[in-house]
Amino acid sequence: MILPCDIRYTDSMQSLVNKRILLGITGGVAAYKSAELTRRLRDQGATVRVVMTPAATEFITPLTLQALSGNPVHTELLDHNAEAAMGHIELARWADRVVVAPASANFIARLGNGLADDLLSTLCLATNAPLLIAPAMNRQMWLNPATQENISRLQARKTTLLGPAAGDQACGETGPGRLLEPDEIVQAIAASFKTDQLAGTRVMVTAGPTREFIDPVRYLSNRSSGRMGYAVARAAMESGADVMLVSGPVALEPPDRIQVVEVVSARQMREAVLADVSLFDIFISAAAVADYRCVETAGQKIKKEDAGMALQLKKTPDILFEVSSLSSPPFTVGFAAETESLAANAKQKLMNKKLDMIAANQVGDGVGFDSEFNALDVYWPGGSQFLETAPKEKLARQLMELIVKRYREKEEV
Ligand code: PMT
């Protein structure tokens, strides 16, 4: 098969397929290597968007990077045209990884101090995506305690350091401070995704609330925004899985690269899940399925004639339990939303619902539901781990790592 010249996948080079890399380039002689890096990232199937600092444009032209990345290059924070096309917050959200290569001493200092005085530093602060930096500078600058202090600070904030390498430098000196070779940087980025973890695996995730109608205009529901489930679906996709997301009504953008099935009620969610779940290896139930529905839904809007009224409710199907009770169930992960006795209730659900794992979260005013943050107590038969408060995206990646580990262990038995 002949592929277009800008797509050259080989069997061993698929690790960044569909991944979105925001490549930041700062001012330094090594900026010329960013051109090669961009090409190699695309060779591996990544989509690359480039952001350059003004100093970087002195070393290599945005036009070169535009041609190589196939996307417009972003240079200004306050550029109305660029903002209209893809604003800086949108760019920050778009990225699966932010990679700064080369990262100059000056940029590292600004990042270490949390400055947001140009587009790239602002993006680094605004993104939820993991940040990787590949320093490049003169060896004395690298060894200077000020630079080392800034690096330690960034590492303490979980920034991944790529290099630097040691060797001959553009200034004629020899020592540490050389930018890693493009291939080494690509390998490190691919490793950060751990894409091989779930390659060839199918993961189904449910998310959001369900609505149980009382009449055509009123329903019973809950405060789930869908954020946690959507983040879990994305984390599974990042780990290399084929993902189906069965979603209740939410105000979130459907994540691309994930098959989304939209449902409204618990019964519809059950139908959608049971129709396909036998094709899946892992089932993660993050949806806040309404526990009750009306015995009868009125055909017309109910008139408020009486001072009070009673609704007769019946239980909705327990979708999670139905899945875990299948004759050949997938690895089944539930969530537990609790306002009290978190651990005891979660362990009970783990057992009663015959789950492989359960992620318990405290819900109530401003936590768990409808918040960008969450914390999870994760339990499985014989073990547990606490995942401390973090943005749901980060938490979802951590939860995914636990799921993968337990899933593989179970497979080996
Ligand atoms: O959507 P967000 O705003 O981001 O909030 C995230 C969340 C709090 C909704 C999420 O983290 C969470 O806890 N989801 C599960 C909520 C819930 O319904 O918990 P539960 O303890 O009532 O149910 C236990 C498990 O059974 C859950 O996995 C649930 O999906 C499942 N269930 C419940 C009832 C039912 N009829 N069918 C089910 O499958």
Q: Is 361 in the pocket of ligand 1 (CB under 6 A)?
A: yes
List pLDDT tens digits, range 261-275. Answer: 999 999 999 999 999
Q: How many domains does the chain have?
A: 2
Cα–Cα–Cα angle for 70, 196, 244, rounded to 5 degrees: 80
Q: Are residues 175 and 67 in the same domain?
A: yes
Q: Are residues 180 and 278 in the same domain?
A: no
The one-letter amino acid code at 142 reads W
171 counts as catalytic: yes
CATH number of the domain at 365, please: 3.40.50.10300
What's the rounded mean pLDDT across residues 191-208?
89
The β-bridge partners of 376 are 387
Are 178 and 30 a contacting pair, CB within 8 Å? yes
Q: Are residues 180 and 248 in the same domain?
A: no
Q: Is 215 in the pocket of ligand 1 (CB under 6 A)?
A: no
Structure tokens at 228: 């946690």
Active-site residue, selected from the candidate residues 5, 124, 171, 294: 171
Under 8 Å CB-to-CB from 263, ≥6 apart: which residues? 210, 246, 247, 248, 269, 271, 272
Are 108 and 141 a contacting pair, CB within 8 Å? no
Amino acid 4: pLDDT? 30
390-to-128, 161, 373, 397 alpha-carbon distances in Å: 10, 22, 5, 11
What gap in Å lies between CA 205 and CA 331, rounded to an integer?
12
Residue among 205, 212, 289 to mutate when testing ligand 1 (max atoms within 8 A of CB): 289
Q: What SS3 state is found at 280?
A: coil
115: alpha, beta or left, given left = phi > 0 and alpha = psi -120 to 50?
beta
Residue 1 binned pLDDT confidence (cut-offs 50, 70, 90): very low
Are 387 and 378 a contacting pair, CB within 8 Å? yes
Structure tokens at 239: 């780990």
Residue 95 φ then ψ, to 5°: -70, 140
What gap in Å lies between CA 104 and CA 87, rounded to an integer?
25
Amino acid 284: pLDDT? 98
Among 149, 166, 192, the domain-final residue is 192
Q: Are residues 174 and 241 in the same domain?
A: no
Distance 269 CA to ligand 1 centre (A): 13
Amino acid 195: pLDDT? 66
Q: Which residue has the tokens 């060896």?
A: 139
Q: What SS3 state is found at 256?
A: coil
The β-bridge partners of 49 are 22
- pLDDT score of 367 more than 70: yes
- pLDDT score of 354 more than 90: yes
Q: Are residues 210 and 103 in the same domain?
A: no
Among 143, 163, 192, the domain-final residue is 192
Amino acid 134: pLDDT? 98
Q: Are residues 180 and 277 in the same domain?
A: no
Structure tokens at 167: 């060797």
DSSP state of 4: P
In a domain, residue 401? The reply is yes
Are 93 and 22 a contacting pair, CB within 8 Å? no
List pLDDT tens digits, range 3-54. Answer: 233 333 333 345 687 789 999 999 999 999 999 999 999 999 899 999 999 9
- pLDDT score of 332 more than 80: yes
Distance 209 CA to ligand 1 centre (A): 8
Q: Which residue has the tokens 């409808």?
A: 370
Q: Across all residues in the chain, what is the average pLDDT? A: 91
DSSP state of 367: B
The enclosing H or E element of 133 equals: strand 131-135
In a domain, residue 94? The reply is yes
Q: Where are the beta strands (DSSP E) in 212-286?
A: 212-215, 218-220, 242-247, 259-262, 282-285
What gap in Å lies between CA 41 and CA 39, rounded to an integer?
5
What gap in Å lies between CA 126 and CA 344, rounded to an integer?
37
Instruction: Count CB atoms within 10 A of the CB of residue 365.
Output: 8
List pLDDT tens digits, range 158-197. Answer: 999 999 999 888 878 888 999 999 999 999 998 888 767 8
The one-letter amino acid code at 64 reads T
- pLDDT score of 413 more than 90: no
Q: Are residues 202 and 159 in the same domain?
A: no
What gap in Å lies between CA 337 and CA 333, rounded to an integer?
13
Residue among 223, 285, 342, 355 to mutate when testing ligand 1 (max atoms within 8 A of CB): 285
List pLDDT tens digits, range 119-131. Answer: 999 999 999 899 9
What gap in Å lies between CA 61 and CA 47, rounded to an integer?
20
Looking at the CA of residue 227, tell me the nearest atom of ligand 1.
4
Q: Is the pTM of this model over 0.75?
A: no
Q: Whose CA is nearest to atom 26 of ligand 1?
A: 320
CATH number of the domain at 75, please: 3.40.50.1950
Q: Are residues 364 and 226 in the same domain?
A: yes
The β-bridge partners of 174 are 168
| Exposure string for 351-360, b = 16+ CB within 10 A, e = fewer | eebebbbbbb
What's the rounded mean pLDDT across residues 229-244?
93
Are 220 and 214 a contacting pair, CB within 8 Å? yes
Percent of the chain with pLDDT over 90: 75
Among 126, 160, 192, the domain-final residue is 192
Domain range for 406: 196-412
